[in-house]
Amino acid sequence: MGRNMARDILSCKNALIASDMHCKRGKKCPHLEAVIKLVSRLNIECLVVSGDFFEDFHKETSPTLFLRELGKICNVERLPRKTIIVLSNSSHDPKLESFLVRSPDGK
């Protein structure tokens, strides 16, 4: 991760951390949807989602497939500009070979 990106992530004025949502592949995730609504209502700048994000997705996965599955469980456009997803790589979550970073400008 580049220095500017790390600085930008660390510059959150406030953040909400959520974990253990155990979302099912291919279905809207009510836990994640509730977190997204709370983030919006509280005007939270950064959302950090940690381990056990998925329930049934523990396999080697490409970034493209992960992002496609993310789009099936929530409306990605409603996620905060600064969303950090930390996968566990050990039990339920997909195994990615590298980090995925969506910059604050949406790229």
First-to-final CA distance of the chain: 14
∠ Cα 91 101 62 (to 5°): 50
Tokens of 9: 């992530």
Per residue in 64-74, pLDDT (tens digit) is: 898 899 999 99
Q: How far is CA 47 from the centre of its chain?
A: 8
pTM: 0.79
pLDDT of amino acid 99: 64
